[in-house]
Amino acid sequence: MEFNKEKWKEKLEERLLEKFSVSLKDASPFEVYKALGETVMSFIAKDWYETKQEYSKTKQAFYLSSEFLMGRALGNNLINLGIDKEIQEFLKELGIDYNQIEDEEEDAALGNGGLGRLAACFMDSLATLNLPGQGYSIRYRNGIFNQYLRDGYQVEKPETWLKYEDVWSVMRPEDEVVVNFGYTSVRALPYDMPIIGYGTKNVNTLRLWEAHSIVDLDLGVFNQQDYLHATQDKTLAEDISRVLYPNDSTDEGKKLRLRQQYFFVSASLQDIIKKFKKVHGREFSKIPEFISIQLNDTHPVIAIPELMRILVDVEGVLWEDAWEIVKKTFSYTNHTILAEALEKWWVGLYQEVVPRIFQITEGIHNQFKNELANLYPNDVNKQNRMQIIQGNMIHMAWLAIYGSHKVNGVAELHTEILKEHELRDWYELYPDKFLNKTNGITQRRWLLKSNPQLASYITELIGDAWIKDLSELKKLEQFIDDKKVLSKIWDIKIEKKKELVEYLRETQGIDINPNSIFDVQVKRLHEYKRQLLNIFQVYDLYQQLKQNPNMDFVPTTYIYGAKAAPGYKVAKGIIRLINDIAQIINGDDEIKDRLKVVFVENYRVTVAEKIFPAADISEQISTAGKEASGTGNMKFMLNGAITLGTLDGANVEIAKEAGEENEYIFGMRVKDIEELRKKGYDPRFPYNNVTGLKQVVDALIDGRLSDLGSGIYREIHSLLMERGDQYFVLEDFEDYRRKQREINRDYKDKISWAKKMLKNIANAGKFSSDRTILEYANEIWNIKETKIK
Ligand code: CJB
């Protein structure tokens, strides 16, 4: 976008005056933020409109996701418009600090973790690639909770991003629809957010639905007696979009959650079909030619029977014809093999919430049951395993696979495990449906925006084509022996570490040595991600430094950031444990600056932007086979952190791209785990035989550590020692510790370390969400670049 300083100044002043009755020189940072946001919105309005016009003529992909973890928009939008530097400069001339303005924006935190952030990266890539793709979700009033620490325990407080309204959302009352549940109906009111592509005029859309009572439509119809009842109804309706479920990789199985899912899915499909009809009339057989719908995990899978309902009940299409359309329209992404995350709904509840949808689901179930009986007449077990309704449970993943033309996993290893194990029956039946789409991240947010120093240095070396084509980074390999380049990327890392140190000093009052190794694990707290393995190693290291004060050791800072699902007791116990150990180590005068442990409060997108660029070590230590892909691992890599990881999820591909010698790979592989399970794993073996391990595990219960009486440390101890150590924490401890020592030795050789950094950066190209999205576009959605003029 052309930047015209005078025009911006004029607009900004106009906005401030109209909206807040204030002049530019007296405006507060909040007022400037709002006015600036609105000014951006006014400048993109025309392009946004034109993009919608163009897209309506062509095939579009719709990404249905219960989560979009967007983070802040202002900085990203300015960058994508190519006017970030100009705006910063222009504000500076007016005596305004841009950073202060940016800090006025709350994160749009409508997601839990990886799955939601992936959806957000996909939006950025779709717009940047001029692809006709739109997101649909819920406009949760409260996003993921804010996390505070009290006595080292997590406490949750509501997040309120809409408290002072949102400048990036535009209400579209003309597109409101009614969603019918069993006993009641609610209004779905859409709000659109622009998704501004980088270096293009295209502006895509993320449409979020807000729930309202139909009572609001016409309060007049209610007489005096009904008034209280009417207001109650209003609350019930509005509850639907009130709060994001804060569980990650687990199924809540709650009535409200099913209501949320049906609410946004039904509204979105009504919207999609309404727009289709405007252009194509009643030629429903053309739907697959113009519409592709991606189901992001099982959460929106109820879309399959809902599209059947719209076609059969509302539009009068024959069931058989409707089913053909449905199958060609949907595709489904699986994000986890954890059984607890594959949603199943109890028939009784489903029937109560969406009775008509239940009938249709039953119809689909019966149809498939007959197919199965014909396919496997001699294998009743298999027939039973694959049924959509089993006993009184509805299996949403099975419904998804049956009703989709493509099913994908999110990393090579994950897809292989799905095909060979979790979804083996299905893969045998539908081999052509299955494919892999390794996840990716947008380099615009995760390098250009969060690490401008590294970004501009890369541009200085190889030009700026990497911003739109990350495979360009490969050209950096020519500098692998260039001492000047190596020392510069080292210096940039130190600079980013200093910025993080400053942030943590301001927000948490902690002092960190920027010359220490920053070893970072940031992600949701989950047993399978093994934050426990990490903190055990730290505690062991602490004992060694105490016994051996002259040990040759580069100072190290262990940094953690993680939210735990509020009802996940063990995860919350692990947060306490990390903080407990942090307090002991950080308060030990004999240790001083050599070892430090920091738990970053309220880890979220905006904080992540400060953490990834500052990391030396990327901890990706899940039990092999459990992490579907991971995407944090890619953000670290792109910023020159070295992976310390298991061969799990996309770590496998990271090691392959950068060379295993440039990462620290440890621990059991998937096949080792299978073998050990068969043989019988006894955690008492490593416990008794690995030096120091017993000391660490027993600290949980011998009084050296304290859970303040909650009993959770004993529980964790028992999970490890009496209940089989499901995630092989003890088994992998020794190898993990060995790699930690190796890292500490290798870090001293600055040049060879910087080479590893450069190798990682140069080979991060594959992990752009642009690559991922192009694969979806070509191999699943069949959508084409549609650039506006
Ligand atoms: N994932 O964030 C979630 N939530 C779930 O409920 C299930 C999976 C994560 O999705 C990411 C995006 O595909 C993956 O990278 C990550 O491994 C997976 O845990």
Q: Write the DSSP assignment of 84-147 as a string of letters.
A: HHHHHHHHHHTT--HHHHHTTSPPEEES-SHHHHHHHHHHHHHHHTT--EEEEEE--SB-SPEE
Q: For residue 766, what pLDDT is reported?
A: 99
Q: For residue 218, what pLDDT is reported?
A: 55
The b-or-e profile of 35-51 (16+ CB within 10 A means b, else e) is: bbbbbbbebbeebbeeb
State mean pLDDT over 710-729. 98
Asked if the model's pLDDT at residue 406 lies above 60, the reply is yes
> Which residue has its alpha carbon closest to ligand 1 atom 5?
249
User: Which residue among 72, 299, 335, 395 is the active-site one?
Assistant: 335
Cα torsion 368, 366, 422, 119: sign: positive
Q: For residue 437, what pLDDT is reported?
A: 99
Q: 143 CB under 6 A from ligand 1? A: no
Task: Give me the residues paired with residue 147 across strands.
Answer: 156
328 assigned to active site: no
Q: For residue 231, what pLDDT is reported?
A: 78
**Dist CA 292 CA 331 (whole Å):** 8
> Which residue has its alpha carbon closest to ligand 1 atom 16?
630
- Model ipTM value: 0.98
What does the pLDDT look like over 552-584, one tens digit per residue?
999 999 999 999 999 999 999 999 999 999 999
Q: Write the DSSP assignment of 716-774 as a string of letters.
A: HHHHHHTS--TT-HHHHHHHHHHHHHHHHHHTT-HHHHHHHHHHHHHT-GGGBHHHHHH
Asked if the model's pLDDT at residue 764 lies above 90, the reply is yes
Q: 627 CB under 6 A from ligand 1? A: yes
How many whole angstroms from 398 Cα to the centroid of ligand 1? 19
Q: For residue 273, what pLDDT is reported?
A: 98
* C-alpha pair distances (Å), 767 with each of 131, 703, 753: 19, 46, 22
| Average pLDDT of the chain to the nearest whole number | 97
Q: 759 CB under 6 A from ligand 1? A: no
Q: For residue 86, what pLDDT is reported?
A: 96
> Is 448 strand, coil or helix?
helix
Q: For residue 179, what pLDDT is reported?
A: 98
Q: 27 CB under 6 A from ligand 1? A: no
Rg of the chain over all Cα atoms, to the nearest angstrom = 27
How many whole angstroms from 628 Cα to the centroid of ligand 1? 7
Length of the chain, in residues:
789
Pairing of strands 517-522, 617-620: parallel
Query: For 618, how many CA atoms within 13 A lie in the half-sphere containing its CB?
Result: 30
**Dist CA 426 CA 375 (whole Å):** 12
Q: For residue 343, what pLDDT is reported?
A: 97
Q: Comparing C-alpha atoms, which of 226, 282, 253 is closest to residue 344?
A: 253
> Tokens 């050209």 sit at which residue?
475
Who's near 356: CB < 8 A, 6+ residues apart?
Answer: 180, 309, 313
Q: What is the DSSP letter of 34?
A: H
Q: For residue 219, what pLDDT is reported?
A: 57
Return the ∠ at Cα 607 (arms to 29 and 658), rounded to 5°.
Answer: 135
Distance of CA 514 to the CA centre of its chain: 29
635 assigned to active site: yes
- pTM of the entire structure? 0.98
Q: Comparing C-alpha atoms, which of 350, 400, 240, 342 is closest to residue 628?
A: 342
The enclosing H or E element of 40 equals helix 29-56
> Is 54 strand, coil or helix?
helix
Q: For residue 232, what pLDDT is reported?
A: 80
Q: For residue 215, what pLDDT is reported?
A: 79
Q: For residue 227, what pLDDT is reported?
A: 73
Q: Comparing C-alpha atoms, which of 18, 29, 104, 123 is closest to residue 772?
A: 123
**Dist CA 708 CA 149 (whole Å):** 14
Could you tell which of 144, 244, 335, 343 is best to mutate to test the pocket of ligand 1, judged by most ligand atoms within 8 Å of the CB?
Answer: 335
Asked if the model's pLDDT at residue 786 lies above 80, the reply is yes
Q: 630 CB under 6 A from ligand 1? A: yes
Could you tell which of 115, 412, 529 is best to mutate to test the pocket of ligand 1, judged by most ligand atoms within 8 Å of the CB?
Answer: 115
**Pair 122, 131: CB distance under 8 Å:** no
The one-letter amino acid code at 372 reads L
Asked if the model's pLDDT at residue 221 lies above 60, the reply is no
Pairing of strands 434-436, 406-409: parallel
Q: Write the DSSP assignment of 624-668 as a string of letters.
A: TTT-S--SHHHHHHHTTPEEEE-S-TTHHHHHHHH-GGGSEE-S-
**Structure tokens given for 583:** 């307090």
**Pair 524, 560: CB distance under 8 Å:** no
Q: Write the DSSP assignment of 452-515 as a string of letters.
A: HHHHHHHHHHH-SGGGT-GGGGGGGGGGTT-HHHHHHHHHHHHHHHHHHHHHHHHHH-----TT
What does the pLDDT look like over 87-132, one tens digit per residue?
999 999 999 999 999 999 999 999 999 999 999 999 999 999 999 9
Helix axes 74-81, 84-93, angle to 10 degrees: 110
Q: 70 CB under 6 A from ligand 1? A: no
Q: For residue 230, what pLDDT is reported?
A: 73
Q: For residue 714, what pLDDT is reported?
A: 98
Q: What is the DSSP letter of 243?
A: B
Q: Comparing C-alpha atoms, which of 348, 281, 272, 270 is closest to residue 314?
A: 270
State mean pLDDT over 228-242. 87
Asked if the model's pLDDT at residue 42 lies above 60, the reply is yes
Q: 241 CB under 6 A from ligand 1? A: no
Asked if the model's pLDDT at residue 632 lies above 70, the reply is yes
Q: Phi, psi at residue 626, to the nearest 5°?
A: -95, -35
Q: 622 CB under 6 A from ligand 1? A: no
The one-letter amino acid code at 151 reads D
Q: For residue 457, what pLDDT is reported?
A: 99
Asked if the model's pLDDT at residue 216 lies above 80, the reply is no
> Is 402 strand, coil or helix?
helix
Asked if the model's pLDDT at residue 133 lies above 60, the reply is yes
How many whole angstroms from 162 Cα to the centroid of ligand 1? 26
What does the pLDDT look like over 408-456, one tens digit per residue?
999 999 999 999 999 999 999 999 999 999 999 999 999 999 999 999 9
Q: 628 CB under 6 A from ligand 1? A: yes
Q: For residue 222, what pLDDT is reported?
A: 54
User: Which residue among 524, 530, 576, 766 is the active-site one?
Assistant: 524
**pLDDT class of 235 with cuts at 50, 70, 90:** confident
> Which residue has its alpha carbon closest to ligand 1 atom 8?
335
How many whole angstroms from 82 Cα to the centroid of ligand 1? 32
335 assigned to active site: yes
